Structure 1
Amino acid sequence: MDEALHAAYLATDYRVRLARGGWAAIHIDQPLPSALKELAGENPWGFITAWNPRSLPTPRPQNKTAQRALFEVLRAIPETVAIRPGLGVARTGQWAEPSLWVVGLGTAALDPLAALFGQFGYVHGQGASPAKLRLMSLA
């Protein structure tokens, strides 16, 4: 992964839609926001998308189809505790990607999904612990 892409991951607000409206933003190397702690409990969680595989601009209809497919796969995994809509937003405001915050799945389940949907990385954590960037090696 090139340095610019790595820097973009680090300079992103990973926003999760709250049940009563508004957003809570996850930041890499920061603890999970208090608004998300109760839902996460002590469970593993991840913030993942199917948009723009291999970080290449992809037509909106194709992205929406892939995102729906990711959502359906996540719903079918018995360990999934919760799925909330998310939005990865560059702090520069140059781009945003619809995403999903999923509770109950760790890296063993999320790694194959990131690879399947062509993602170079995703954000994950355990309970309220600091969010971590997980980088993938796509062949």
Structure 2
Amino acid sequence: MDEALLRAYLATDYQVRLPDGRRASLRVDAPVPTALARWLGIRPWVYLTAWNPQSRPRAFQVNRLAQRSLLAALEGRPVLAGVGIGPDGWRESSLLVAGLDVPEADALGHRFGQLAYLHGSEGGPARLRWL
């Protein structure tokens, strides 16, 4: 893994829009914010995107279509919208999905060409998982 890319993933602010309109931020190896933990309950969770496969920029419209495909693949699951904001201002639309386990998330990550995603479970911190 490229060290600069690793630092970028670790420094990213993984924001989530809560059902009441407020925002919560996930950070790698940090506890899940209380309001978000209440929404998640005891379910495992995953924070992922279909934007910019292999961490390489691509056109907005292509990213948007891929994100819609990811959302369709998650049909029926509890999902909150998010945006990952990198330390240099990089932004990617993302999704927080409740009840998705690691094997399912790995499959989706591979399907959409992602290098990594965040995940966690009840009471645990947000973890970065490399694919």
Residue 89 of structure 1 corresponds to 85
Runs of at least 4 residues of structure 1 off by over 3 A?
Answer: none
The alignment yields a C-alpha RMSD, in angstroms, of 1.0
Deviation at 1:89, TM superposition (A): 0.4
- State whether structure 2 residue 43 is matched by structure 1 residue 43: yes
Residue 96 of structure 2 corresponds to 101
Spell out, residue by residue over 1:58-107, the C-alpha distance to the aligned partner (whole angstroms, 9 max, x if none): 0001000000000000115xxx3x100000001332x1100000000111
TM-score by length of 1: 0.91
- State whether structure 2 residue 11 is matched by structure 1 residue 11: yes
Unaligned runs of 5+ in 2: none
Deviation at 1:113, TM superposition (A): 0.3
Judge conservation of contact 1:89–1:96 (CA < 8 Å) in 2.
yes
- State whether structure 2 residue 50 is matched by structure 1 residue 55: no
- State whether structure 2 residue 111 is matched by structure 1 residue 116: yes
Residue 66 of structure 2 corresponds to 66
Letter of the structure 2 residue corresponding to residue 106 of structure 1: D
Give percent identity, aligned residues only.
46
SS of 2:70's partner is helix
Letter of the structure 2 residue corresponding to residue 35 of structure 1: A
Residue 125 (structure 1) aligned to one of 103, 107, 120: 120
Judge conservation of contact 1:15–1:87 (CA < 8 Å) in 2.
yes
Letter of the structure 2 residue corresponding to residue 43 of structure 1: R
Q: What is the total number of aligned residue pairs between the two structures?
A: 131
